[in-house]
A = this chain, B = another copy of it.
């Protein structure tokens, strides 16, 4: 990884055009060739960047970064204040816990935490327009489509609605009702869901994880 602190102006032309006036910034070049221009603030997102693959042409007063898609990033360098290179090696990568996939796993293993008497048919039940998170049957044997989100916003209701429309075309499943499950469900999403006859369930991730641990402890 190469780190350059320089007084520079930057122009990007590609999916849009963008210009950065002259200022002191960090130019980060990673081993895979990607380039990022950072200011001294504004979260982790760089002001401007170029993803790999690309070619970096280093001229006297400017760097020209070009991608095969026809994008270009031109860095006019007026003054270099720091320039260093470092060997980092390959990163073993990030281990995550607590994202939607894990929430879905926990719910699949414990469908009764969503609603009394619910049993799982399958996870990622396929339809022509995409997979339904959980397809279940309730105590009466009726089909229930469950959409899982970490945060329950309006687009999840739209998503579940599209799936329900599709599933209700299948005579073997019909009638299918929907349940929207999330750690928090926003008021707009709840209103829309209720209007459409979709149930809303808020679940506690830590509590669910607790149930899971308890079950494991029995063995």
Which of these binds chain B: A26-34, A61-69, A105-113, A139-147? A26-34
Q: Are A99 and B40 in contact (CB under 8 A)?
A: no
**B-chain residues with CB within 8 Å of residue A49 when the two chains form the complex:** 43-44
A171 at the interface (CB under 8 A from B): no
Q: Are A41 and B47 in contact (CB under 8 A)?
A: no
**B-chain residues with CB within 8 Å of residue A32 when the two chains form the complex:** 40-42
CA gap between A119 and B88 in the complex, in Å: 58
Query: Given known contacts A26-B3, A32-B41, A88-B39, is B19 in contact with A95 (CB within 8 Å)?
Result: yes
Q: Are B38 and A43 in contact (CB under 8 A)?
A: no
A218 at the interface (CB under 8 A from B): no
A211 at the interface (CB under 8 A from B): no
Min Cβ gap A77→B in Å is 15
Q: Are B96 and A40 in contact (CB under 8 A)?
A: no
Neighbour of A17 across the interface among B31, B98, B129, CB < 8 A: B98
A–B pairs, 10, beta carbons within 8 Å: A3-B3, A5-B86, A17-B96, A21-B92, A25-B88, A26-B86, A34-B42, A36-B44, A44-B51, A129-B188
Copies assembled: 2
**B-chain residues with CB within 8 Å of residue A19 when the two chains form the complex:** 94-95
A121 at the interface (CB under 8 A from B): no
Neighbour of A28 across the interface among B21, B30, B34, B38, CB < 8 A: B38
CA gap between A99 and B82 in the complex, in Å: 34
A23 at the interface (CB under 8 A from B): yes
Q: Are B94 and A25 in contact (CB under 8 A)?
A: no
A115 at the interface (CB under 8 A from B): no
**B-chain residues with CB within 8 Å of residue A34 when the two chains form the complex:** 41-44
A91 at the interface (CB under 8 A from B): yes
A158 at the interface (CB under 8 A from B): yes
A97 at the interface (CB under 8 A from B): yes
**B-chain residues with CB within 8 Å of residue A45 when the two chains form the complex:** 44
Min Cβ gap A140→B in Å is 31
Q: Are B30 and A91 in contact (CB under 8 A)?
A: no
Q: Are B94 and A18 in contact (CB under 8 A)?
A: yes
A46 at the interface (CB under 8 A from B): yes
